[in-house]
Structure 1
Amino acid sequence: MHSAFGYFSGSESFPVQPKELHEKIATSGTCSDRWHLAGRDDLSLEVMAILAQDSDPEVRSGIAMNYLTPAGILALLANQHPDLVPPISIHTNAPPTLKELAPILWQTDESIFQYLVDKGATEEESTELRKLHSRLTRQHLNQIRKAQKNVPPDEVPYMEPPRAPLLGDAWRSIHTEPSNDATPPYSPQFLNDAAHYWEHWSK
């Protein structure tokens, strides 16, 4: 399991689930079996697509947080289940329009790199966004260190990364050239729902 996001990143601790039985488990296995299946790192795209349509929210969440889930399935999950926007929008494979709904400091360096590739960022834009990400990270770490002073280790409060600025806002602050970016295919209601779920979600 990924230490930062709780993303599944291996099948070593999962029950034995032979690859030839994955589709059968996905369609008719128990909820527990389907949930374990959703976290595996050897799933086919077909099985991932089946699990993304599962009736159980824990199974869908498992697919949303599987580090191998591709952009298309993540986009489908987010559109159908806005409550999954927070974990999906910080997924390395998420479409850039979904990543833009997440605070920049909740993105990993790998996710930022892939975002810049997907956006076709210039070298200057890539440098500026990475510098901003690094500066905000240092500020957050300094705040944590300050809070830790003269406090017993077991009493240090958890300080999650700030929820502003959003990655999309940060990008628009440096992307000053006329943009050919497509309008995000999200309705105002979807954006409101996404903001609501981000407000009440934490790692």
Structure 2
Amino acid sequence: MRAKKFFLLIILSTFCLSLTSAAYRSVRFVYDGDTILLDGGDSVRYIGIDTPEIDHKGRKSEFMAQAARDFNIKLVKGARVKIEYDQERKDRYGRRLAYVFLENGDMVNAILVRKGLANVMLKSPNVKYKALLLDCQREAMKERLGIWSRSPGREEKYYLGNINSYRFHRPNCPFGRKMSKKNVVRFQSRYEAFWAGYSPCKRCRP
């Protein structure tokens, strides 16, 4: 009887170990600062953050775009990672939306933000790690790391934030002007908007 129980424990332990191993995936390719390809062919977009865009559709690479990609390559290429979902699992392009964790437990999304290589980009209902990511961003902003090291340039008199989408717009942005007044919050600078956890509109690019 004891031998039988011992045998069952061995089988159970092996099964649990295989489940733990299966939870980790290998990173085959790094597209840019916030998108990777896993073994099995799944593309993963880091949720809750946005790194500068690499040259795309005739546009020049944004400031720190290559640095963000290079750091992401160094961090995850060939590594085993675990992905964690929020409320939405995929975006409109079919990419998986996830928080990505290294084997030591560090979250890649948060590391990139803390290094100043990404800004927080919240999208409800995917706000599980809002507090953590925002803390990382504020520290990077205070230390003027990465994307925060450059002067913001000419500022508008104010910016319009949408409390539902967590985006901020220039005063004359078509999307900003369509917002319901009850959803609008004003910011006096880009810095103030980023500090509050808002990210820039992709249309007016404030």
Q: TM-score range by the shorter chain?
A: under 0.3
Rg larger in 1 or in 2?
A: 2
Higher share in strand: 2
Q: Please give the TM-score of this superposition, normalised by the length of structure 2.
A: 0.27
TM-score, length-normalised on structure 1? 0.27
Task: Judging by fraction of residues, say which structure has more helix.
Answer: 1
Which protein, 1 or 2, shows the higher relative CO under an 8 Å CA cutoff with sep ≥ 6? 1
